[in-house]
Amino acid sequence: MQIAPPSAEPDLAAVLVRLARERGARVERLRAEKLLAEAGAAWPGDPRLLWMKWLATGATSLGLRAKAMRMTVDDALRLAQDGALVVAASQGDQLVSLVLGFDGGHAEVAAEGSNDSRRLTPTQLTSELGAPIEQEPDKWVWMVVTDVELGHDHGGRLHRNPVNRLLDLMRPERSDIWVVVVFAFSVGVLSLATPIAVESLVNMVAFGRMLQPLLVLSIMLFGFLAFSGLLRALQTFVVEIIQQRLFVRVAADLAYRLPRIKPSSLHGEYGPELTNRFFDVVTLQKVVAQLLLDGVTILLTTLVGMTVLAFYHPFLLGFDVVLLALVTIGVFLMGRGAFSTAIQESIQKYRLAAWLDDLARCSSAFKSSGGAEFALDRANYLTAGYLECRRGHFKVLFRQLLFIFGLQAVAGTVLLGCGGWLVIREQLTLGQLIAAELIVATILSALNKLGKHIEGFCDLVASVDKLGHLFDLEMEPQDGQLALTPGSGVRVRITSASDGFDGARQEVRSLALESGERVALLDPAGAGGSPLIDMLYGLSKPEGGHVEIEHADPRDLHPETLRTAVAMVRSVDVFEGTLAENIHLGRPDVSMTDVRWALQGVRMLDTVLRLPEGLDTPLNGAGGPFIPSQLMMLMLARAVVGRPRMVLVDGALDGLGDQQLEVAIDLLTDPARGWTLLATTGRRTIAERFDRVIDLAAEDADAANLRPTSNGEAPQ
C-alpha cells in the first residue's frame, strides 16, 4: 500500500505532538523525535513513502490506536465526526493534513507544524489531498487515530466509582445526547398542547357553542401532536445510533485490550469467564436507550408542566416545590444502598454463570460418580447466594416504590381538593383546573414509571461496574525499542535473575545461549523452566538480576518487536477460525506459502490437504477435527511460520508420540534454521537430543544454572 506524497519531507514530530495533544496527552517534541527515529531505524527507507508507518508506530508507542485504512473522503469525515483523528497526505508543501473534526458541513483541518486550523468543505479537502490509490481513484490512504478511552490510569484506585465511569463512558456521545435533550424538551413543551386545548375548549363551551373555533382548535392540536410524534421518532433514531456506537466502542476497546493485557493482571481470574462480562453491554445499551427516551422526556415534561402550574396560582407553585422535594427524598433518601446491592447481585450472578461454564467445560469430570450431585449442590448454593442479594436489592427498590405510590395518591388528592376550593373561591377558572389536573396526571404517570427507571439505572450502574473489570485489565506498555541487531538467531544472557510471580521464586545463577544454539532445560518437577520462558517472552519481569536478548532487555523492547523475534510454544491455543488463520494469525508478512512450508515442516500438510476444505478447514474452540497431539504440531507450525530468531518450547514436546516427537525435534534442530532454541522438558531422552542440557534438578547450582526456591527465600 504505497502513498505518493509530494517531494517535501514531513515534519512528523510536529504531527505526533499535535495528535497526542488532541487526545489529551502532553508529549515533548524530543520524545516524539526519538520515537520516530526508532521507527525509522526499524523500517529504513524514503520518509516520503514510509511516513505513515513511522507515524502510526509513534502514535502506538504513546498509547494511541493508529491504523492505515483505504477510504473515501466521506468515510474519513464520518470517522472524524465520530471523534477519531484522521491523517492523510496533502499536495504542495503541506505534506500532512490532520482532520480534527467534522460537523456535517465543514471539516476542521490542521496542517503539519501549525497550531491553527482551517474549515474546509469536503470538496475543498479532496482538492488538497495528494494522489489517490491508483487502483481505486476515489479512495485515499488515511491513518485513523483513536485512544484507548475506556480504561484508566492504574496509578489510582483499581476500580473507580461506577457512576463516574458511566459519565466517562457517555462523554463521547454528549453531542448526540444534547440533541436528544433538545428533542425531549420540545416534546415536553408540545405535551402541553392537550391540556391547553382542553382549557380553551371548556372556555368556549362556557361562552357558547361555535363550530369554527372548535375546528381551528382541533387542527392546531393535530399539528402539535403530529410534530411531537415526529420529534419522538427522530429522538428514537438518534438513541439507536448511540446504542450502536456504545456496542462498537466497547467491543473495539476489548478487542484491542485483551491481546495486550499483562498476565499478572489476570492473576486469580479465569480469562474466558471474565470476558462474559462483555454481555453487560446489552444492558448498557437498553437502559441508556430507556433513560434517554423515557427518562429525559419524563423529566423535562414534568419540569415544563410544573412551570405552567406555577403560573396558574401561587398555591400551585408551592405544590410544585413540595412535590419536587418529596420526589428527591424518594429517589435519594429512600434509595440509599441501591447501587451497592445491585453490584452485589451482579457479582453473585456471575459466580453462578462461572460455575455453569465449568460444568460445560469439565463435562467428563461431572459425569463420574457423585459428580452430577456435586454440580447441583454447588449450583443450589450459588443460587441461594444470588437470591439473598436479589432480595436485599429488591428491598431497597420496594421501599422506593411504596413511597412513590403513596406520593402519587396524596398528590392527586391534594390537587383535586385544593384546586376545587380555588375554583369555588374564583381564584382559578374551571378550564385551568381541568388543565392542571391533566398536567398533574401526566406528572403522576411519570412518577409511576419512575420506579422502573430507578431499577434500570441501578442495573446500568452494576453493568458498568462489571465492564469496568475488563477496562481495568492493565495492558503491557506499547512503547520500547523497535529493532534488534540483525541476524538469524539471538544471543541470550541471564545473570542472577529471579522471578517471583505466583509466590514461587526461581533464581537463575548464570545462563548463556549463543546465537543458533539449541539448549534443553531438563525439569522433571515441571516448575523451574516456565518462569524463565516467561521472562524471555516478556510475560513477566525479573525481580532481580538481568536478562538480555541480543544486548537488549526484554522490558525495553516493544512487545511487537520482541514477539516477532521470539516465538513460544506452550499449550494448545486454538480459536474458532480456519486452520490457516490459526497459523498465520493475520500477520501481513506471513503468506499462504509460508503456511504451507510450516505445515510441511511438521509433516501435516498432506493431512490438511486431504480434508475437504484444506487450509480453509474451520476449527472450533476445542480444535476439532484434530486430536490433541495434532493440535500441538499445529502450534509448533504457528511458532515457526514467521521464521523467528528464537523459539521457546515450554513442555510442549513431552506429550507427543514417538513419531511426532521425531518430526518436531528434526524441525527445531534443523541446522538450516538459524534460530536459537530453548526448550523445557521433563524427559531426559528428549533433552539429550539438543546441543546442551541444563538439569534443573541437579544439586550443583553452578551446573544446574537454575535453582528453584520457595516462599521468596534466597537459596541455601
Kind of pairing between the strands at 107-111 and 118-120: antiparallel
pLDDT band at 70 (very low <50, low <70, confident <90, very high): confident
- Indicate whether 447 and 500 sit together in one domain: no
Q: Among 5-9, 277-281, 318-322, 661-665, which stretch is predicted with the lowest mean pLDDT?
A: 5-9
User: What does the pLDDT read at residue 87?
Assistant: 83
| Phi, psi values for residue 405, rounded to 5° | -65, -40
Q: Give the per-residue pLDDT at 701.
A: 46
Residue 677: pLDDT band (50, 70, 90) is: very high
For position 302, which CATH number holds?
1.20.1560.10
Nearest to 94 by CA among 64, 116, 70, 69: 116
Query: Are the C-beta atoms of 320 and 306 separated by less than 8 Å?
Result: yes
**One domain, residues 249 and 122:** no
Same domain? For 117 and 187 the reply is: no
Other beta carbons within 10 Å of 372: 12
The shares of helix, strand and coil residues in the chain, as percent rounded to the nearest 5, are 60, 15, 30
Confidence of residue 710 (pLDDT cuts 50, 70, 90): very low
Lowest mean pLDDT among 39-48, 93-102, 187-196, 623-632: 93-102
Mean pLDDT of 333-342: 86
Q: Which of 440, 471, 502 is the last residue of a domain?
A: 471
Task: Tell me how crowded residue 109 is: count the other CB atoms within 10 A of its CB.
Answer: 24
Assess whether 128 and 233 both reside in one domain.
no
CA distances, 343 to each of 246, 267, 283, 466 (Å): 21, 22, 14, 8
pLDDT for 228 equals 85
First to last CA, the chain: 59
Distance CA 443, CA 676 (A): 75
The residue among 347, 333, 147 whose CA lies nearest residue 256 is 147
Burial of 676 (0-12, 13-18, 19+ CB in 10 A): buried
Rounded Cα distance, 228 and 303, in Å = 17
pLDDT tens digits, 318-332:
888 888 888 888 888
Same domain flag for 464 and 499:
no
Q: Which domain holds residue 586?
A: 492-708
Nearest 5°: phi and psi at 568?
Answer: -130, 140
Query: Mean pLDDT throughout 9-21?
Result: 78
* Residue 264 located in a structural domain: yes
Work out the burial of residue 123: count CB atoms within 10 Å of its CB; fewer than 13 is exposed, 13-18 middle, 19 or more buried. exposed
What does the block give as the cell for 410? 396524596
Q: What is the mean pLDDT of residues 196-211?
A: 68
527, 449: one domain: no
Region 6-13 average pLDDT: 63
Among the residue ranges 153-167, 168-182, 273-287, 305-319, the one predicted with the least confidence is 153-167
Task: Answer for the pair 537, 262: CB distance below 8 angstroms, yes or no.
Answer: no
Mean pLDDT to the nearest integer, 110-115:
69
* Domain-located, residue 236: yes
- What is the mean pLDDT of the segment spanning 517-523? 87
Tell me the average pLDDT across 368-379.
Answer: 86
Residue 150 has what pLDDT?
56
pLDDT bin (cut points 50, 70, 90) of residue 600 is very high
**Residues 523-536: pLDDT tens digits?**
776 555 678 888 88
Adjacent-strand bridge partners of 566: 646
Tell me, yes or no, whether 143 and 168 share the same domain: no
For residues 604 and 634, is the Cβ–Cβ distance under 8 A? Answer: yes
pLDDT (average), residues 275-280: 86
Q: Which of 438, 471, 504 is the last residue of a domain?
A: 471
At residue 500, the 3 state secondary structure works out as coil
DSSP SS3 for 670: coil
Q: pTM surpassing 0.85?
A: no
Residue 476 within a domain: no
Please count the structural domains in the chain: 3
pLDDT band for position 95 (50/70/90)? low
DSSP state letter for 603: T
SS (H, E, C) 537-602: HCCCCCCEEEEEECCECHHHECHHHHHHHEEEECCCCCCCEEHHHHHHCCCCCCCHHHHHHHHHHC
CB 541 within 8 A of CB 535: yes
Cα 244 to Cα 249: distance, rounded to the nearest angstrom = 9
Same domain assignment for residues 276 and 399: yes
Tell whether 659 is covered by a domain: yes
387 and 512 together in one domain: no
Question: 96 has which bridge partners?
Answer: 89
Same domain, yes or no: 583 and 466: no
Q: Which of 108-112, 280-284, 316-320, 379-383 has the lowest mean pLDDT?
A: 108-112
Residue 481 counted as domain residue: no
pLDDT for res 149: 55
Neighbours of 65 (CB within 10 A): 19
What would the 3-class secondary structure string for 86-147 be?
EEEEECCCCCEEEEEEECCCCEEEEECCCCCCEEECHHHHHHHECCCCCCCCCCEEEEEEEE
Q: How far apart are CA 18 and CA 97, in angstroms?
A: 11
Question: Residues 279, 307: one domain?
Answer: yes
pLDDT score of 51 more than 50? yes
Higher confidence at residue 591 or residue 218?
Answer: 591
**Is position 362 within any domain?**
yes
Strand 676-681, strand 518-522: pairing = parallel
Q: What CATH number is associated with residue 118?
A: 3.90.70.10
Transcribe 508-536 into DSSP letters.
EEEEEE-TT-EEEEE-TTS-SSHHHHHHH
Residue 4 in any domain: the answer is no
Tell me, what's the pLDDT at 419?
79
- Whether 620 and 701 map to the same domain: the answer is yes
Question: Where residue 633 sits, what CATH number does that domain have?
Answer: 3.40.50.300
Q: Look at 7-11, 308-312, 342-346, 408-412 and tell me which has the smallest mean pLDDT.
A: 7-11
Give the number of other Cβ atoms within 10 Å of residue 307's Cβ.
Answer: 15
Contact 51, 6 (CB under 8 A): no
Domain stop point among 436, 471, 506: 471
- Return the ∠ at Cα 292 (arms to 254 and 349), rounded to 5°: 50
- 470-484 pLDDT per residue, tens: 888 888 888 777 778
Does residue 177 fall inside a structural domain?
A: yes
How confident is the model over 184-192, as a mean pLDDT?
80
Average pLDDT for the chain: 80
Order of strands, edge to edge, in the sheet holding 118-120?
Answer: 64-71, 140-147, 85-89, 96-102, 107-111, 118-120
CA 180 to chain centre: 25
Inter-axis angle of helices 430-471 and 314-328, nearest 10: 20
